[in-house]
């Protein structure tokens, strides 16, 4: 691919609800740009962006793809992101390196949850944005309703640039609202100009008024002129729109048909015309030497630096680190310093990435997006810079995973392969993590949703040829006592020669410290149990608290006092006293009113107003205690509650269903508290046969 200077680059993230048409939009643009000789379709599983087998099977994007397009001498790096919340981390990575966004809306489905989520992502990053309404060739598509809906939500920012023209139920052209001219597509792929049809005049007047209101909002002078009844020239409108779009005070609305490849020329022209190049954007890092601010600002003349925003670790094409050059000009065989890892990295060749294909490039200028192969130390969100001018940039905030399952190998002996494969997936996907829960004898895998984890399972099978089984995780219950007891156990074994003898008398009671498994004290007098056997007694306690007598869960909050016992000068041993203690502990524990403790989470649910009743009702069924509800100012409520961990199982699926995927939740551990009798009995019964 050609080398592009900073002013000839646009970095644009495509956002929107799943199925809104982002991937097919990329197909149409790539085809018109001559990057492909045919347009793939999501239905056929042959698109540039969705090249993974699992993506083709499911019919939607699972990861962000970078598609660089050369258009009128400008390189437009399109970042095609997944639209579903299950893969939100991919969108967050892409938004972090984009300089602007196109939010795609299905003309047929209209404004959806993913539309609003896309807007919120742009708001967080203060990204210039525009809407593109797809499927305008469909009879059910309503551009007017979508524009009205956007204006209702986002006010006078919304500025429709075009209107569709239909004749004989066919999408044949559009009205340019700025020029107030109509254009019809012809067989040559270009447009013929004609007068605006009478039936479009009313809609044009409405859209024109909305556009002029957005223009007036860009300055006090324009506001005064607008209310004074003055008119604006086309050049004044375009100039104001350029400033307004850059600042985010104007959000254009465009439209077209992906399948007919119509509307892409105007979209790409407006991307180049109204969206900023990187050198018009601000970016600052931290100078690690002085702890001062390093104003990178995508300046090609400043010391080299780059940010790794995504990693591809594919068993077939290898490992690629996707980067955005934040300053300077990268060249092959540059040696850059990773401050986070205290390591130098030789870059080798530089690449641009096009879906799943890579193409070598001579250099990458500030603001450009490219790929580096086989970096040895560097990971996603790391910074590369020169050792002399070591810089670090703020790491992208990625959504935390809260949904988890226990997983195990279907085939014995695959454990190491599975571990390595999941390690590669976690390198690619920062919303995926694993936890070794040794207390409960399980390995846990965390993701954004049950769907996310199911996708991971399928990718492991298809790509890495290893099968895992996902199952309901064992909840981390604990056992304790609420009473006191005084007990003893004498371990005596004779088998010819030296025997075994250990005798302990212990008292057990609550320690009052639920953070610590046990507290051990000894008040033995007169040498009834020699001091050299005290460590063996404590070892017996240590073994006992690992798996309690009640339901085989770890014990906590127990105080054990060794106060008496006896020994044999020949037969006593550390093993004998350890075994005696274990048996005394088991006996005493069951006599001291044992109870099962369950973990409680502090839960936060962010939900639209209209679904709060459903969510609250469901929480009550899950034994949750609702502590309060606070408005967040955007038509949502934040519900605070406490809920048992076992009631969070499959909560993501239920919440998704109740709120049409519009609610999100998070939680953190709060404390342990005594489980209700029915819960405790069921858990004890379930574990009674376990060793």
What would the pLDDT profile of 583-615 be if each residue is shown by its tens digit? 999 999 999 999 999 999 999 999 999 999 999
Record the tokens describing residue 321, joined without a space. 């680190």
Question: Which tokens in the block code for residue 209?
Answer: 């008024």
127 HSE (CA, 13 A, CB side): 27
At 215 the pLDDT is 87
Given a cut of 90, whether residue 498 has pLDDT beyond it is no
Residues 550-590: tens digit of each pLDDT: 999 999 999 999 999 999 888 889 999 999 999 999 999 99
For the cut 80, the answer to whether the pLDDT of residue 495 exceeds it is: no
* Angstrom distances, CA of residue 362 to CA of 5, 35, 318, 567: 12, 20, 21, 82
With 0-12 / 13-18 / 19 or more C-beta atoms within 10 angstroms meaning exposed / middle / buried, residue 319 is middle
d(CA 341, CA 594): 49
> What's the average model confidence in pLDDT over 147-165?
91
- Compute the distance between CA of residue 166 and CA of residue 657 in angstroms, rounded to an integer: 37
Q: What is the pLDDT of residue 591?
A: 96
pLDDT at 89: 96
pTM of the model: 0.90
User: Do residues 443 and 436 lie in contact, with contact meaning Cβ atoms separated by under 8 Å?
Assistant: yes
DSSP-based three-state secondary structure for 416: helix
SS3 61: coil
Edge-to-edge strand ranges of the sheet holding 293-295: 293-295, 284-287, 391-392
As a whole number of angstroms, the distance between CA 60 and CA 54 comes to 9
Rounded CA-CA distance 50/566 in Å is: 74
Predicted confidence band of residue 218 (pLDDT cuts 50, 70, 90) = confident
What is the rounded average pLDDT for all residues in the chain? 93
Model confidence pLDDT, tens digit, residues 87-135: 999 999 999 999 999 999 999 999 999 999 999 999 999 999 999 999 9
Tell me the two tokens of residue 588: 């005493």
Q: Rounded mean pLDDT of 633-641?
A: 91
Lowest mean pLDDT among 25-29, 136-140, 268-272: 136-140
- pLDDT recorded at residue 561: 97
If DSSP codes are grouped into helix, strand and coil, which group holds residue 339?
coil
Q: How far is 648 from 641, CA to CA, in rounded Å?
A: 12
CB count in 10 Å sphere of residue 71? 18
Q: Write down the pLDDT at residue 206.
A: 87
Predicted confidence band at 222 (pLDDT cuts at 50, 70, 90)?
Answer: confident
Rg (CA), the chain: 32
**Confidence (pLDDT) at 200:** 86
- In this prediction, residues 253-279 reach a mean pLDDT of 94
Q: Which of 77, 684, 592, 48 is nearest to 371 (CA)?
A: 77
Residue 691 is predicted with a pLDDT of 57
Least confidently predicted of 188-192, 220-224, 317-321, 434-438: 188-192
Residue 42's pLDDT band (cuts 50, 70, 90): confident
Q: Where are the alpha helices (DSSP H) in 548-666?
A: 574-591, 612-621, 651-659
What pLDDT does 572 receive?
87
d(Cα 83, Cα 65) in Å, to the nearest integer? Answer: 13
Q: What is the pLDDT of residue 496?
A: 64
Q: What is the pLDDT of residues 656-671, one digit of tens each?
A: 999 999 999 999 999 9
């Amino acid at each position: 691919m050609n080398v592009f200077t900073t002013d000839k680059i646009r970095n644009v993230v495509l956002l929107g609800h799943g199925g809104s048409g982002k991937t097919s939009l990329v197909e149409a643009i790539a085809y018109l740009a001559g990057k492909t000789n045919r347009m793939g379709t999501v239905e056929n599983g042959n698109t540039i962006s969705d090249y993974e087998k699992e993506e083709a099977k499911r019919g939607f994007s699972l990861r962000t793809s970078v598609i660089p397009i050369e258009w009128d001498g400008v390189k437009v790096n399109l970042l095609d992101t997944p639209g579903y919340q299950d893969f939100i981390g991919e969108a967050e990575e892409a938004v972090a390196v984009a300089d602007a966004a196109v939010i795609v809306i299905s003309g047929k489905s209209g404004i959806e949850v993913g539309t609003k989520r896309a807007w919120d992502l742009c708001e967080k990053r203060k990204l210039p944005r525009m809407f593109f309404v797809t499927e305008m060739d469909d009879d059910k598509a309503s551009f007017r309703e979508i524009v009205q809906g956007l204006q209702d939500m986002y006010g006078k920012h919304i500025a429709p640039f075009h209107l569709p023209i239909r004749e004989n139920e066919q999408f044949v052209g559009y009205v340019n609202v700025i020029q107030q001219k109509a254009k019809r597509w012809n067989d040559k792929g270009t447009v013929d100009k004609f007068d605006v049809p009478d039936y479009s005049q009313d809609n044009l007047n409405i859209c024109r008024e909305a556009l002029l209101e957005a223009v007036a909002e860009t300055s006090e002078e324009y506001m005064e002129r607008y209310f004074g009844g003055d008119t604006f020239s086309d050049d004044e409108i375009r100039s104001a729109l350029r400033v307004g779009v850059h600042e985010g005070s104007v959000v254009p609305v465009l439209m077209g048909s992906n399948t007919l490849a119509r509307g892409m020329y105007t979209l790409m022209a407006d991307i180049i015309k109204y969206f900023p190049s990187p050198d018009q954007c601000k970016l600052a890092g931290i100078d690690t030497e002085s702890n001062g601010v390093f104003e990178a600002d995508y300046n090609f003349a400043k010391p080299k630096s780059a940010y790794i925003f995504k990693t591809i670790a594919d068993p077939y094409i290898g490992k690629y680190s996707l980067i955005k050059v934040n300053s300077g000009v990268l060249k092959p065989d540059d040696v850059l310093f990773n401050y986070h890892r205290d390591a130098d990295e030789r870059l080798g060749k530089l690449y641009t990435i096009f879906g799943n294909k890579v193409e070598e490039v001579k250099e990458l200028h500030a603001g450009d997006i490219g790929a580096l192969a086989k970096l040895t130390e560097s990971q996603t969100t790391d910074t590369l810079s020169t050792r002399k001018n070591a810089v670090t940039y703020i790491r992208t905030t990625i959504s935390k995973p809260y949904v988890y399952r226990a997983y195990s190998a279907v085939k014995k002996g695959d454990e190491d392969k599975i571990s390595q494969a999941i390690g590669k997936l976690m390198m690619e996907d920062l919303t995926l993590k694993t936890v070794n829960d040794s207390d409960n004898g399980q390995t846990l895998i965390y993701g954004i949703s049950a769907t996310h984890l199911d996708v991971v399972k399928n990718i492991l099978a298809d790509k890495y040829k290893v099968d895992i089984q996902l199952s309901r995780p064992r909840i981390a219950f604990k056992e304790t006592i609420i009473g006191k007891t005084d007990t003893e156990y004498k371990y005596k074994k004779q088998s010819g020669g030296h025997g075994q003898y250990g005798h302990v008398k212990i008292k057990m009671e609550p320690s009052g410290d639920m953070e610590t498994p046990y507290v051990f004290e000894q008040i033995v007098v007169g040498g009834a149990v020699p001091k050299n056997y005290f460590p063996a007694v404590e070892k017996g306690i240590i073994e006992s608290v690992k798996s309690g007598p009640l339901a085989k869960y770890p014990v906590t909050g127990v105080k054990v006092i060794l106060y008496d016992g006896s020994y044999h000068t020949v037969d006593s041993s550390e093993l004998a006293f350890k075994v005696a203690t274990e048996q005394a502990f088991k006996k005493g524990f069951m006599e001291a009113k044992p109870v099962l403790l369950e973990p409680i989470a502090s839960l936060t649910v962010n939900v639209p107003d209209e679904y709060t009743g459903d969510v609250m009702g469901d929480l009550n069924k899950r034994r949750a205690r609702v502590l309060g509800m606070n408005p967040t100012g955007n038509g949502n409520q934040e519900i605070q509650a406490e809920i048992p961990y076992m009631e969070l199982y499959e909560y993501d699926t239920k919440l998704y269903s109740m709120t049409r995927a519009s609610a999100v939740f998070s939680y953190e551990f709060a404390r342990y508290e005594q489980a209700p009798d029915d819960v405790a009995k069921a858990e004890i019964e379930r574990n009674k046969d376990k060793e």
